[in-house]
Amino acid sequence: MQSTFPGPPVSASPARRFDLPSRLRAAGVHLGLSAAVAGLAALLVFGLWYPTPYREISGGRELFFIIVAVDVVLGPLITFAVFDRRKLRHALMRDLAVVGILQLAGLGYGLHTVFTVRPVVVALEVDRLRVVRAIDLVDADLNKAPPEWRDLPWKGVHLLATRAPAEGEKLEAIDFGLAGIDLGMRPEFWLPADRTAALLAQAAKPLAELQRRYPERAAELLAYVADTGLAAEQLKFLPLLARSSDWVALVDRDGKVVGHAPFDGF
C-alpha cells in the first residue's frame, strides 16, 4: 500500500527565499538618500527661517527634528518591508516610487508647518521684545502696517517697535491682550523703521543689572558679551519673549541688536 504520509518538505529555490541582505541594502540606500534630503531641508530651515537664536527660543529645532526623524525612519522601514526581488521589476519599481512619493509628501507637509510657524517679527512692546510668528498674523491686517513691514520676510525677522494704544484703544487692547493677541501681533500698532533704533536704545536696561541678578553665571554672560565684540559697559539688554523660552537681546548704545543670551530678563 502506498504511504499517505507526505515526504520531506521540498526546500524553496534560492530565488524564492526571503532575501534579507537585499532588503537591508535597499533600506540602507533609502536611509542614505533620506538623510541627504533631510540635510538640505535643515539648511533651508536653520539658514533662512530659524537663524540663531530663534531655532532655540521659537521651538523650530524640536519641531524640525520630530518631523525629519519620523520621515527618515519610516521611509527606509517601509522600503525594507516592500522590497522583494521575487516581484516583477515594474511592480517593484512602482512600490518603491509610491514609498518615495509618500515620504516626500510627508516631508513637504512638515516643512510647510515649520514655515507657517517661523518667527517673522521681533516687536518692541514698551520694555520688552516679543517674537511674533507668521501664524500669529492675519494677512489682511498687514495692509495696516507701515509700507516697509507689509511683506513678511523669508529670511530672518523684521525688528520693529510698536506704539502705545491711544486713549480710545486701551480697552480694546486689553481685551486683545487677554485673548493672547499682544501689540506686536497687530500691524496697525507697528511704527516705521526709522523709529526702531531710538526706541530700542531708550527702552533697554544697563547690562550691569543683568550681571547683578546672575552673579553665579557671570562667566557665561561674559562669553555672550564677547561674541558681540563690545565691552559689557557698552551694552544694554531687553527681555526677549518667545513661545519656548525667554532670552535677552543685547543692544548697543545706538539701539542695534548685536547679540542674544539665554537669560530671563524679568
Q: What is the pLDDT of residue 16?
A: 53
Q: Each residue of 51-110: pLDDT tens digit? A: 888 888 887 788 888 888 877 888 888 888 888 878 888 888 888 888 888 888 888 888
Using CA atoms, how far residue 216 sits from 226, 232, 248, 251, in Å, is: 18, 17, 17, 22
Bridge pairing between strands 257-261 and 247-252: antiparallel
Q: Each residue of 26-39: pLDDT tens digit? A: 888 888 888 898 88
Q: What is the pLDDT of residue 219?
A: 93
Q: How many CB atoms lie within 10 A of CB 95?
A: 17
Q: What is the pLDDT of residue 135?
A: 92
* Average pLDDT value for the chain: 87
Angle at 152 between CA 146 and CA 155, to 5 degrees: 130
Q: What is the pLDDT of residue 5?
A: 41
CA atoms within 13 A on the CB side of 213: 12
User: Which of these, 199, 261, 259, 263, lies nearest to 234 by C-alpha position?
Assistant: 259
C-alpha cell at 235: 551694552
Decide if 250 contacts 221 (C-beta within 8 A): no
Q: Each residue of 72-84: pLDDT tens digit? A: 888 888 888 888 8
Sign, Cα dihedral of 72, 77, 82, 86: positive
* Residues 102/103/109/115 CA torsion (nearest 10 deg): -160
Q: Which residues of the chain have pLDDT under 70?
A: 1-18, 244
Written as one letter, the residue type at 78 is I
What's the CA gap between 264 and 6, in Å, rounded?
79
Angle between helices 60-82 and 20-44 (to 10 degrees): 160
Decide if 196 contacts 243 (C-beta within 8 A): no
C-alpha cell at 244: 519656548
Q: What is the pLDDT of residue 258?
A: 95
